Amino acid sequence: MTTQHIETLIIGAGQAGLSTGYHLKQLDRECLIVDGLDRIGDNWRRHYDSLRLFTPSRANSLDGTPFPGDPWAFPTRDEFAAYLELYAVEHDLPVRMRTRVDRLTAREVGGFTATLGAEEVTCGNVVVATGTFGRTPQVPAFATEIDPHIRQVHSSGYRRPSQLPDGPALVVGASHSGLDIAYELAETRPTTLVGPDRGNVPLEWGSRRFRAAFPAIEFAFKHVLTRRTPMGRKAMQRLRHHGVPQLRVKRHHLGARDVDWITERVVGVAEGLPCLGDGRTFDVASIVWATGFRQVYDWIDVPLPIEDGWPVEYRGVVDSVPGLYFCGLAFQYCFASGEVNGVGRDAAYLANQIAARTAARAPAAA
């Protein structure tokens, strides 16, 4: 087994991991970014084909590289993936793809050991940048009881309508992805959406009113709705556990395509069909579970405190485990933390924390 030592290991080469690497490099701190996927940007390319970012290009720049093109356009998933690749090359970031971290343990001399297959990397600091809401799909346990003739797919595995059989479709979960997918499916088949209505932002995304209001929205998301304010802490709980209001696709858009939106929950199975609490069932050809993701940290073999499924941290710093950090979490500091235009500030904060800690511990243990 080969062993390498690095000052800071960053796990995840999405926008959070790359931005953290950029800010560490600006401070002349050594780091290595690893990711188990094949290419930078593949975490975006694996989403459904029609996905576009919810923020316009003017708000999708990472520090040091403006996002190209029309500032009011909403980039596709592939355009943003290409931007991340460009960002890594332009700033010569030390990225190793196809490198999965199987286990992270604490070292007796301080710092951590990351096991990557037959290789080990020791480090003084670790930044976990593995996704805003996690990458492990959530599907209810009773889904295994549904008639096997009904095609089931989680939103993470959905790409386009043609991958589903003809016939009525059921989308479970009124999240952003659920709204997007239900709207898209309704072009070609009868579609039902089931899930609570989280409210509505009363702006048509991309409209002139949206453009006029966006600077104020951006300011509120970055400076008002933070973990320092009562309003922000309330928004944090809502966002992390209940989702956000309708943004681009709204109820009237779904209505125009005859989507039947039932604001209840699928709670079980009756005679092989998904059913509501009142016993109503759905005789459909396919089900898309837009039921979100969960954070899974069973590979982190250190005493990481978890509360309500989330690591206990403040601004990404885990005080109880010195040297362990997170970047890119939903509401890491503010509402914008999970968006591209907010991750840079979080990454810069962490880079400064890491640099100060490393300087205080110098010379670092090998």
Q: Which pairs from 214-221 meet CB under 8 Å and 24+ separation? A: 214/56, 214/59, 218/59, 218/336, 218/341, 220/335, 221/334, 221/335, 221/336, 221/339, 221/342
Q: What distance in Å separates the CA atoms of residue 176 and residue 340, rounded to the nearest whole number?
A: 16
Considering the domain architecture, whether residues 14 and 71 belong to the same structural domain is answered as yes
* Pairing mode, strands 136-137 and 293-294: antiparallel
Assess if residue 82 is contained within a domain. yes
Domain boundary among 289, 311, 326: 289
Considering the domain architecture, whether residues 178 and 63 belong to the same structural domain is answered as no
Report the pLDDT value the prediction gives residue 366, as an integer from 0 to 100: 44
Q: What distance in Å separates the CA atoms of residue 36 and residue 44, rounded to the nearest whole number?
A: 14
Assess if residue 151 is contained within a domain. yes
Considering the domain architecture, whether residues 246 and 264 belong to the same structural domain is answered as yes
The contacts of residue 168 (CB under 8 Å, 6+ apart) are 189, 190, 191, 192, 282, 283, 284, 285, 286
Considering the domain architecture, whether residues 153 and 249 belong to the same structural domain is answered as yes
The contacts of residue 234 (CB under 8 Å, 6+ apart) are none
**Residue 70 DSSP SS3:** coil
Assess if residue 240 is contained within a domain. yes
Considering the domain architecture, whether residues 115 and 45 belong to the same structural domain is answered as yes
Assess if residue 366 is contained within a domain. no
Q: What distance in Å separates the CA atoms of residue 182 and residue 260, rounded to the nearest whole number?
A: 10
Considering the domain architecture, whether residues 260 and 215 belong to the same structural domain is answered as yes
Considering the domain architecture, whether residues 157 and 280 belong to the same structural domain is answered as yes
Assess if residue 349 is contained within a domain. yes
Considering the domain architecture, whether residues 144 and 249 belong to the same structural domain is answered as yes
Q: What distance in Å separates the CA atoms of residue 127 and residue 123, rounded to the nearest whole number?
A: 11
- Number of domains within the chain: 2
| Three-class SS of 143-174 | HHHCCCCCEEEECCCCCCHHHCCCCCEEEECC
Q: What distance in Å separates the CA atoms of residue 259 and residue 164, rounded to the nearest whole number?
A: 17
Considering the domain architecture, whether residues 265 and 163 belong to the same structural domain is answered as yes
The CATH number covering residue 281 comes to 3.50.50.60
For the entire predicted model, the pTM comes to 0.94
Assess if residue 248 is contained within a domain. yes
Considering the domain architecture, whether residues 93 and 219 belong to the same structural domain is answered as no
Considering the domain architecture, whether residues 111 and 160 belong to the same structural domain is answered as no
pLDDT tens across the length of the chain (366 residues): 667 899 999 999 999 999 999 999 999 999 999 999 999 999 999 999 999 999 999 999 999 999 999 999 999 999 999 999 999 999 999 999 999 999 999 999 999 999 999 899 999 999 999 989 888 999 999 999 999 999 999 999 999 999 999 999 999 999 899 999 999 999 999 999 999 998 898 999 999 999 999 999 999 999 999 999 999 999 999 888 888 889 999 999 999 999 999 999 999 999 999 999 999 999 999 999 999 998 899 999 999 999 998 999 999 999 999 999 999 999 999 999 989 999 999 999 999 999 999 998 776 444
Assess if residue 215 is contained within a domain. yes
Domain boundary among 289, 309, 328: 289
Domain boundary among 245, 270, 289: 289
* ω into 363 cis (within 30 of 0): yes
Considering the domain architecture, whether residues 99 and 174 belong to the same structural domain is answered as no
Give the helix ranges, DSSP H, for the chain: 15-26, 42-45, 77-90, 176-185, 208-219, 230-242, 251-256, 340-361
Partners of 34 in beta bridges: 11, 96
Token pair listed for 365: 């243990």
Task: Report, in angstroms and rounded to the nearest whole number, the Rg of the chain calculated over CA atoms.
Answer: 22
The region, left, alpha or beta by phi > 0 then psi within -120 to 50, assigned to residue 173 is left
Assess if residue 7 is contained within a domain. yes
Where in the sequence is the domain holding 195, given as residue range(s)? 139-289
